[in-house]
Chains A and B, each alone.
Chain A
Amino acid sequence: MKLTFTDATLVRNGKTVLHPLDLELTERRIGLIGANGSGKSTLARMAGGLIRPSEGAVTVAGYDTARDDKAVRRITGFVFQNPDSQIVYPIVEEDLAFGLKERGFAKAEHRKRIGNVLDRLGITDLRERLAHELSGGERQLVALAGVLVTEPELLILDEPTTLLDLRHSRRIANHIAALPQTVIFVTHHLDLLVDFDRVIVLDDGRIIADGDPANAIAAYKRAMI
């Protein structure tokens, strides 16, 4: 899996949210950190093809996100910060089936995969619960499960652990570490990134550091003083 940004720029309402970016991402675990409003979510959305660059191009596994957006969406999974807007069916089990149904998987495959992902995240007991009766953290886990169940080749996570307790965010971090897919992980929990292959630091729409976690996190801390 390879992601490329070629002079990718984003201008919104006359404001440059992302300055021209040139990136080639081939690592399996990529962390994205930076201050509030620095452009992390914007960059993540762009990588997943949810927004197109105003200028330049972004490709995911060779697909141009502007031209082949359906192909990009098919292989990309996206978890946002607010789980409420991502759970679209009232019952957990049915919600997990949504992405599978849209991708045309057979019912038997639904059952197998759903059982599997619930088990891996340790939330089998939530299977038949109503989404609106779950706690915030439980909903965040369900939102994550709904994306993992489609087994995307590229997984983009935008602060998916903000509502989770220590045990669950640790569990998710471990789970992500064991996934075979490419993961882009936006977070303010720096300790979740220590084993990552690459960490990118954004500030005001520009990359100010990019490298191994220790150096990148140190640069981020320096920039925040």
Chain B
Amino acid sequence: MINGLYRPGASPIHRLRAGTKLLLLAITCTIVFFMEGWALAVVPVITVALYATARFDAQTLYRQLRPALPFILLIAMFQVFAASWVEAVETVLRFSGLILLAALLSLTTSPAALSDAMLSAMRPFKRFGLPAEQIALAMTLAIRFIPVISQAGEDVREAQRARGGRNRFFRSAGPTIIRTLKLADELAEALEARGLGLGDAEAPRRPTSAFEPRR
């Protein structure tokens, strides 16, 4: 997810509308999920072709896959024993395809465009009380603050090292959480100050004089 952050560009895939990409991803994922046998061999071919079209190199592609690789290999190994090596290969192709295609969407689509697209996808369900705007905002904030929070954790560990402490992940968890809570507090205030939710209020009439109390 951190590696899958948006990389601005001008490729045909970048220029495709976010909603279109979201829909294509949903369709492709469904197809890939149900594909079997030798047909699955086209998945890596298409994936690589799409990455090339988006002007990403092999290293970028690998970086999208790397975090999930241990899990994929684990499942594949299990399948070699439980089922057959053919199914193990199928699993590897299927899952790496799904992950790479999803990553390609977030690599080539700006978070705001993505959140707008999700907003329109969710619109029909607003009638049933789905808080679409809040969900879209929450998603965007998550994308924005993942790097900020991991930086906060890095800062804490660096400070602990600078004071001669050992670099232990769990010792830095407490201070990192406290920083994150403070950040969340400030963020809530900033959202309010920047005008969150002002749109749906009709502007109140301005009083003619500061001395005329409003009612």
A residues with a Cβ closer than 8 A to B are 2, 4, 48, 50, 59, 61-64, 67-68, 70-71, 73-74, 76-78, 80, 82, 84-91, 94, 97-99, 101-104, 128, 130-132, 146-147, 150
Contact = CB atoms under 8 A, between A and B. Distances in A.
B5 interface: yes
Interface string B199-215: 10101101111101010
Contact of B198 (A48, A61, A70): A70
A85 B201 CA distance: 25
A205 B129 CA distance: 46
Contact of A90 (B6, B195, B210): B6
Interface of B: 5-6, 8, 110-112, 140-141, 143-144, 147-148, 151, 183, 186-187, 189-199, 201, 203-204, 206-210, 212, 214
Contact of B190 (A2, A59, A61, A85): A85
B189 A50 contact: yes
B153 to A, nearest CB: 13
A40 to B, nearest CB: 16
A59 B212 CA distance: 11
A195 to B, nearest CB: 26
B144 A50 contact: no
Given A70-B204, A85-B190, A87-B144, A103 B198 contact: yes
Contact of A82 (B186, B194, B199, B209): B186
Given A63-B207, A84-B183, A88-B140, A102 B197 contact: yes
Given A59-B210, A102-B194, 16 more contacts: A62-B209, A62-B214, A63-B207, A68-B214, A73-B192, A78-B194, A80-B189, A88-B194, A90-B5, A90-B143, A90-B144, A94-B110, A98-B194, A99-B194, A103-B198, A132-B144
B210 A62 contact: yes
Contacts of B111: 89-91, 94
B15 to A, nearest CB: 14
A159 B96 CA distance: 48
Contacts of B208: 62
A147 B194 contact: yes
Given A71-B203, A94-B110, A104-B199, A80 B190 contact: yes
B8 A74 contact: no
B204 A88 contact: no
A128 B186 contact: no
A67 B193 contact: no
Given A2-B210, A80-B186, A102 B198 contact: yes
B195 A99 contact: yes
Contact of B148 (A80, A84, A150): A84
Nearest to B209: A62
B144 A131 contact: yes
Contacts of A103: 195, 198-199
Given A59-B210, A91-B6, A91-B112, A71 B193 contact: no
Contacts of A87: 144
Contacts of A61: 206, 210
